């Protein structure tokens, strides 16, 4: 762990070409464009957009086809019997093409339930993406200010160390004179204080470098890329008084992405359970079929009562129902989906009390530092 930390600090301080000077807002904008966390969250949104299209495609026309070419022996007419006989000396191709166009027309409620489940799940992922944006922006601001805080301590620590070093030199001179005004204990105290200040200087330097490395990581930058913060010191706290706590709690209930996740998640779980309950329902459809067969080595049958599988054009249209009934499996899936809906309801109850507590904690922390 220590070696990894040292490597990260060395990489953070290594030269990386042109130095970019960034303000806090610049860092936030950079992170919102390049952060790997946001790329992952955005990909989740795209994934569920695709799943929604997949559910919607149930009512899109579907075309199935089969085509092949095979060798086929020929036939010859026996003039004595006026019947065809197999002719193994003459071979030719047999071509077959089958096309089936299916248009689903009704799923007995299964497709609409699945579509609503996917739509609400997509909204959940959008809310998660917004939550990730908020967290990334918060982390960037936190590391930015932490770096400034650690860096602002260095001059004061250096000045205190210089003063203590001068005092130690003077104390040693007085001790050498033997006046009795300075004892070995006094020298030990000064040495201990100087050691402690040196330790704090090292901690401040490590903290500044580590905060800068964490800032680059959150922004999606390479640790070796050189940047410089536009601010030299911590900004002043705003002078305006804080609004009431109740205002913050009300805003959190309206705008927190977690609230939207739970709202849409509950709807998604409800419709997912409904879809699983209906998973054994049939699908009604209209279908058209076309079969094309051609074999030049076989004669064409002109008798309408004779089925010619080798030389025929066979069109057709029908209305039908496709069944895949497994009641036990459907019930098992419904129970699992129902349990998922109950989990979401539990999370909603937990959030109803947890979010106000988080807001109050942040409110109290702000009042203590203002």
- CATH number of the domain that residue 164 is part of: 1.20.1600.10
What confidence tens digit (pLDDT) does each residue in 121-156 have?
999 999 999 999 999 999 999 999 999 988 888 888
Q: How far apart are the first and last CA of the chain?
A: 36
Tokens, residue 9: 């600090």
- The Cα–Cα gap between 87 and 139 comes to 83
CA 162 vs. chain centroid, Å, equals 51
**Per the domain annotation, does 212 fall within a domain?**
yes
DSSP secondary structure string for all residues of 246-285: HHHHHHHHHH-HHHHHHHHHHHHHHHHHHHHHTTT--EEE
Task: For residue range 297-307, list pLDDT tens digits in order.
Answer: 888 887 777 78
227-229 vs 20-22, strand pairing mode: parallel
Res. 60: pLDDT tops 80: yes
Between β-strands 283-294 and 312-322, what pairing exists: parallel, antiparallel or unpaired? antiparallel
Residue 209 maps to a domain: yes
pLDDT at 17: 56
Domain count for the chain, please give it: 1
pLDDT at position 320: 94
Give residue 370's pLDDT. Answer: 64
Q: Is residue 298 part of a domain?
A: yes
Q: Rounded to an integer, what distance in angstroms lies between the CA atom of residue 260 and that of residue 124?
A: 7
Per-residue pLDDT of 72-102, as tens digits, reads 999 888 888 888 888 898 999 999 999 999 9
C-alpha dihedral, 340 to 344 to 350 to 355, nearest 10°: 150
Closest CA to 294 of 314, 270, 276, 280: 314
What would the mean pLDDT of 344-360 be, rounded to a whole number? 88
pTM for this model (two decimals): 0.76
Name the pairing type of β-strands 62-78 and 83-106.
antiparallel
Residue 262 lies in a domain: no
| Predicted local distance difference test score (pLDDT) of residue 321 | 94
SS3 for 180?
Answer: coil
Instruction: Give residue 151's Cα distance to chain centre.
Output: 35
pLDDT averaged over the chain? 87
Range of the domain at 204: 2-235+283-322
Length in residues, the chain: 370
Give CA–CA dist 62/57, Å, rounded.
Answer: 9
CA contacts within 13 A on the Cβ side of 290:
7
Quote the CA–CA distance of 29 and 23 in Å, as a whole number. Answer: 10
In a domain, 330, yes or no: no
Inside any domain, residue 342: no
Q: Is the pLDDT of residue 56 over 90?
A: yes
Residue 159 lies in a domain: yes
Write down the pLDDT at residue 13: 47
Contact predicate 164/199, CB 8 Å: no
Structural domain contains residue 264: no
What value does the mean pLDDT take over residues 255-266?
91
∠ Cα 316 319 320 (to 5°): 115
Per-residue pLDDT tens digits for 162-207: 888 888 888 888 888 777 788 888 888 888 888 888 898 889 899 8
């Amino acid at each position: 762990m220590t070696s990894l930390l040292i490597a990260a600090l060395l990489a953070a301080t290594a030269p990386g070409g042109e130095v970019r000077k960034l303000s806090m807002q610049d860092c936030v904008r950079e992170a919102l464009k390049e952060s790997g966390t946001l790329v992952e969250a955005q990909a989740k949104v795209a994934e569920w957009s695709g799943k929604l299209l997949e559910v919607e495609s149930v009512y899109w026309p579907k075309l199935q086809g089969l085509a092949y070419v095979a060798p086929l022996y020929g036939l010859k007419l026996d003039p004595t019997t006026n019947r065809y006989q197999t002719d193994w000396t003459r071979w030719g191709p047999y071509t077959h093409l089958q096309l089936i166009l299916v248009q689903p027309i009704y799923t007995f409620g299964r497709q609409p339930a699945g579509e609503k489940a996917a739509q609400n799940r997509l909204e959940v992922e959008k809310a998660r993406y917004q939550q990730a944006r908020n967290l990334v922006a918060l982390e960037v601001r936190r590391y930015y200010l932490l770096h400034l805080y650690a860096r602002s301590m260095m001059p004061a620590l250096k000045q205190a160390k210089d003063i203590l070093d001068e005092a130690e030199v003077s104390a040693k001179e007085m001790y050498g004179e033997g006046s009795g005004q300075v004892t070995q204990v006094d020298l030990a105290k000064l040495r201990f204080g100087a050691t402690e200040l040196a330790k704090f200087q090292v901690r401040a330097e490590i903290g500044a470098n580590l905060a800068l490395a964490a800032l680059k990581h959150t922004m999606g930058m390479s640790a070796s890329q050189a940047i410089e913060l536009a601010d030299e010191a911590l900004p002043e706290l705003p002078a305006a008084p804080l609004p009431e706590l109740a205002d913050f709690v009300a805003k959190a209930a309206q705008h927190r992405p977690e609230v939207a996740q739970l709202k849409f998640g509950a709807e998604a779980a409800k419709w997912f359970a409904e879809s699983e309950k209906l998973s054994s329902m049939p699908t009604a459809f209209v279908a058209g079929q076309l079969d094309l067969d051609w074999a030049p080595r076989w004669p064409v049958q002109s008798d309408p009562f004779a089925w010619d599988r080798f030389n025929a054009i066979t069109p057709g249209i029908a209305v039908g129902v496709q069944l895949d009934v497994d009641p036990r499996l459907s019930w098992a899936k419904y129970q699992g989906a129902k349990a998922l809906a109950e989990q979401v309801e539990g999370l909603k109850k937990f959030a109803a009390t947890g979010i106000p507590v988080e807001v109050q904690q942040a409110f109290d922390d702000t009042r203590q530092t203002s």
